[in-house]
Each structure stands twice: as C-alpha cells, then as structure tokens.
Structure 1
Amino acid sequence: MEEPEFRIGMQFANKDELKESIREYAIVQGRNIKLVKNDNKRIQAKCAGHTKCPFILWASKIDRDKQTFAIKSLSLEHECTRVDKLKYTNSRWLSKRFADKIRKNLDWDVGAFKAEVLEKYHMNVSKHQIYRAKNLSKVIIEGSYVEQYARLWDYVEKLKKANKGSTMIIKNKMKGCRPLIGIDGCHLKGPYTGQVLTAVGIDGNNGLYPVAYAVVEVESKSTWIWFLQLLIEDLQIKNGKAWVFMSDKQKGLIPVIETLLPTAEHRMCVRHLYSNFRTEHAGLAMKNILWVAARATTIPWYEAEMAR
C-alpha cells in the first residue's frame, strides 16, 4: 500500500480498498487524481492536474453478489507536473502513516515531522495538520493498548492449552481499600459540557482508587443525592460510623452527607481550606503551621498547633 502499482485485471477486496490505493498512488506520484465516478458498482479516476493528461483508471465490480472490484481499463501516463500539496495528505492519513514513529517518540518535533513528510513523500503539510495528526495517533496508540488488554483472558486460555500444568491468574478487582472516600466535582470541557461527580478511595498501597463517577448537567444538591444514594447502595454502606468522607466546602455537599449518612465523619480537604485561608493569612510560615495542625493525630497535639 505504501507504493501501489496498478495493472489491468488487478482485484481489490472492496471499493474502500481500491479508493485507498488510488489515494496512496496520488500521494506517492504527486498527482492530483480525482474520482469522477464513485458508486457501489464502478470507480473512475482521472488526473485533474492537466485537461489533456491521459491518466485514467476504470474499475468495476466483477460480480453483482460480491464486493470485489477489478481494474478494467488503465493508462498510467502523465503529461502533468508533480504537485507538493494534495487533499489526501490530511491529518488522518498522516496519523496512520506515521503512527509507529510517533509511538516511539511522543515528543517528536513538529518541524522534524514536517521535514520527514517532505523528504519521504515530497509533500508540504501545515503545522496545524501535524498537530492534529499527533493527537489522532495518540488515540490510535492508546486504542491498541485497550484492545490488547481486553484480550488477556484469551491469552490466558491459550497459555493453559499450550503449557499444561501452568498456573495463570488474572485478578482485576482491588480489595483492601480504606473506609475513606473523597468526593468532588469538576467541569467538562469540549463540545459536551456538564460536570463529573467522582468518588475516590485509597487502597492498601496508599494509591488512589477510583470508585465511581457520573456525568451530570450541574453540580447541585439533587445530583449529589442521586450519586451518593447509588454509591451507598453499591458499597452496601449500612453503618455510617465506619466511614469517613472528605470534600471541599461545596454548599450542597454538607447537607447531603448529613441527610444520607448522618453518623459518618465528614471532613474538609485542607488544600481547599488553604485556598480560602491564604486570602487573609498569606505566607509560607502560616501555610506550614496550618498543615502541621492538619496532620496532628492527637487532640493535645492539634490544640498546641492551633494555639501557635
């Protein structure tokens, strides 16, 4: 596909495969080739670079009940000159063609990327196309990881068949989280607005463990009640005294916790407290004293730090 060569009688599995081959040929040859006919039965490609250019490719389905296309007529001669810009060299094409190189170097310089396209394909592309191509490539790369991890169970079954007596265990459920849940909301950016409500725990290795999230229109008392009711049901929280919730001082959250879990401990995030505290008590010394008081684990220690 990187350097397609056409010949009479060449067959393609379907129309899309043929069209992709024509696009690749146009890029490699530097010719402005357009599809003048493009339907489910036939495809005709001509060179738009010169009115009298003899290049033509005509293909059609070989059978009504099949998707296979075959080239019926072909002339590869050109009387036009090469071009260095084509609509086919868009961001999507760049992301597919250079995905492997981007995978190896996610910080690939835009100028170097552009120079590589010019050297390899003699095509000029814009910086905007390069930026979009890099973002699209990341989606392709991350998507492939998701697909591969999803096949781990198939891989384990293959290993069991090929290596009799081996032990393979996949464990994807984390246990040992502390009865401490941090809850917060944040705004969504992009074409789909709204807010995300989250509940995050802490596992036995002091790592953050995402417990639940929901996308809602606005962060309000009613949305928090809906979210936390589902959370309580899923975690089967019956004894509120055994749980601690941490949040910022969002007005709707305080009465929600008091209503749904009146016996649970509800504490405020010190980072959010400090953002209010520093407006009246600025400076590193005051910040350090605040954090020492927050970290106090006994009442006498806490009272001594608060007195300071």
Structure 2
Amino acid sequence: MRFQNPKQIKSMLCNCAVKNGYQLWFEKNYSKRLLVLCCKGDCTFRLYASWMSIEHNFQIKSLKSEHQCARNYKPGFVNYRWIDSHYTKEILHKQKLTIRQLRLEVIKKFGIEVSISQCRRAKQYAMNIIEGTLIEHYAKLWSYGEEIRRSNPGLTVNMDVLTIPDGRWLEGRKKMIGIDGCFLKGYATGELLCAMGKDARDQIYPIAWAVVCVENKEN
C-alpha cells in the first residue's frame, strides 16, 4: 500500500486501532521510516513502512497483520486532531454543537473515552480550519483596503485612522444618515456599528463602521 506521507498512514493506523480495539506502538517514528508494533509483548503484529525517493510516496514494506492479543484499547492514538478529522463537517453544519455533545457523540460512535479538553481543542482546531484564525482575519484588512482603492478610483482609504476628512461624496450626498448595529457571533465577539448615507443616485454609502464590545453612549 502507498501513502502520500507518514501523516496519512498514521491516520489510517489510528482508525484501524480504534475500530478493532488494538493498542499500537510506534517503535520507530521518523520522516522516512515507520515501525509499528502491538503494545502487547506476545503479539506478533508488525508493520514497517519507508519513503520511496524514486516513486515519491510512503510504502508499507512488510506487514504481519494478525493479532494474538485480546481487544483492550486505550485511546493513546486519539487526540484532538483525530477527533477533528471525523467531525469537521458536523462542527461546520452544527454551529450549536456543544463540547459535551461532541464528546458523547465520539463515545457513542467509536466506543472510546475522550476528555472534554480533547473535544474542546478539536472544535477550536476545526473552527480555525473552517474560518481561519483571528490573526489571519485581521491580516486581511490591508488587502481589503487595497481592494477598495482598486475598485473605487479616487476613493481615499486610511487604515488605523479615527477621523476621516470630508470627501467628494459630501458634495452630492442626501442629508440623511442611517445608524444601526448587529451582534457578531463567533470567536471575535462584540457588536458591529455602522453609519450609512445615500448618494445622489440613492446608492448606500458606508460612512464609518466600528467593532465595539458593547453599544453604549461613548461607543
């Protein structure tokens, strides 16, 4: 059997161990060599795989798949990334899935005990993959500003500036300003406040927006 990398074969071995209830052990765990044994001393299970430089894949070279031991699995292979690999879609489509509900689903489906902390890290990891981290989000603000400049020639865009000088929009604006706010749900919580106006063609024009922790007089 051929795999793209050691990570892929380890994931397969973890699934196999959970399904069949065997405790495996990485005797050698290198980037180009992998030797896996059964934790039971008398068991003859043995898997050896290595990297093939010419074929550019990770291959199983030898395998003794039979076990002489009884099912006695302890979730040593299972970590938050393994949980995430099986529940990413559920976390995406069930935004209200709680940590405890996720833990109960893992126990019910796979028959193994996992901790609350493992499930919490799995959900956090899945949401980072789905939505990206907060650092990645805020890093895109500069690209957002550049895209506004590109798509709106002549528009002034200033980052990290609290006061914005009057622009050409003021010359043809309608004398009305709409103010509203909405709550942000996710890892970046708070409230989004926005002030909007209309130009001479009745097009909505964002005057200013800000993310605040609470909607009060000062904000």
Q: What TM-score, normalized to structure 1?
A: 0.44
Match of 1:57 in 2: 47
Residue 202 and residue 61 in structure 1: after superposition, are their counterparts in 2 closer, same or farther (change >3 A)?
Answer: same
| Aligned mate of 2:105, from 116, 120, 132 | 116
8 A contact 1:182–1:201 mirrored in 2: no
What is the aligned partner in structure 2 of residue 99 from structure 1? 88
Contact 1:181 1:202 (C-alpha < 8 Å) held by counterparts: no
* Shift in CA distance, 172/134, structure 1 to aligned 2, threshold 3 Å: same
Q: How many pairs does the alignment contain? A: 163
Name the structure 2 match of 1:14. Answer: 5
* Identical aligned residues as a percent: 28
* Cα 1:66–1:125 shift into 2, 3 Å: same
Whole-angstrom CA distance in 2 between matches of 1:86 and 1:59 = 23
Q: Deviations over 1:28-63 (max 9, x none)?
A: 222211111223442111011x1111211112234x
- TM-score norm. by structure 2 comes to 0.60
Write out aligned runs for 1:16-55 (5 A): 16-48=7-39, 50-55=40-45
Specify which structure has the bigger relative contact order, considering alpha-carbon pairs within 8 angstroms and separated by 6 or more residues. 2
Give 1:142 shift.
0.5
The answer to whether the Cα contact below 8 Å between 2:194 and 2:206 also exists between their aligned partners in 1 is no
- Asked if the contact 2:99/2:123 (under 8 Å) is kept, the reply is no
Which whole-Å deviations, capped at 9, do the CAs of 1:78-123 have from their partners, x for residues lacking one?
Answer: 2333345313221122123201101111221333212211122111
Matched position secondary structure for 1:74: strand
Measure the CA separation in 1 of the matches of 2:31 and 2:125: 29
Query: Which letter maps to 1:31?
Result: Y
Q: Does 1:82 find its partner at 2:71?
A: yes
Q: Does 1:70 align with 2:17?
A: no
Q: How far off is 1:131 after superposition?
A: 1.6
- Give the letter for the 1:126 counterpart: S
Q: Distance in 2 between matches of 1:61 and 1:30?
A: 28
Distance change (3 Å), C-alpha of 1:57 and 1:172: same
1:24 and 1:207 map into 2 onto residues whose CA distance is: 54
Tell me if the contact between 1:14 and 1:67 (Cα under 8 Å) persists in the aligned partners: no
Q: Is the 8 A contact 1:84 1:124 kept in 2?
A: no
Displacement, 1:208?
Answer: 4.5
Match for 2:87: what amino acid? F
> What CA RMSD, in Å, does the superposition of the two structures yield over aligned residues?
3.7
Q: 1:70 to 1:143 in 2, by over 3 A?
A: same
1:124 Cα deviation (Å)?
0.7
Task: Select the structure that is richer in helix.
Answer: 1
CA distance in 2, matches of 1:81, 1:182: 71
Residue number in structure 2 paired with 1:271: 218
Q: CA deviation at 1:133?
A: 1.4
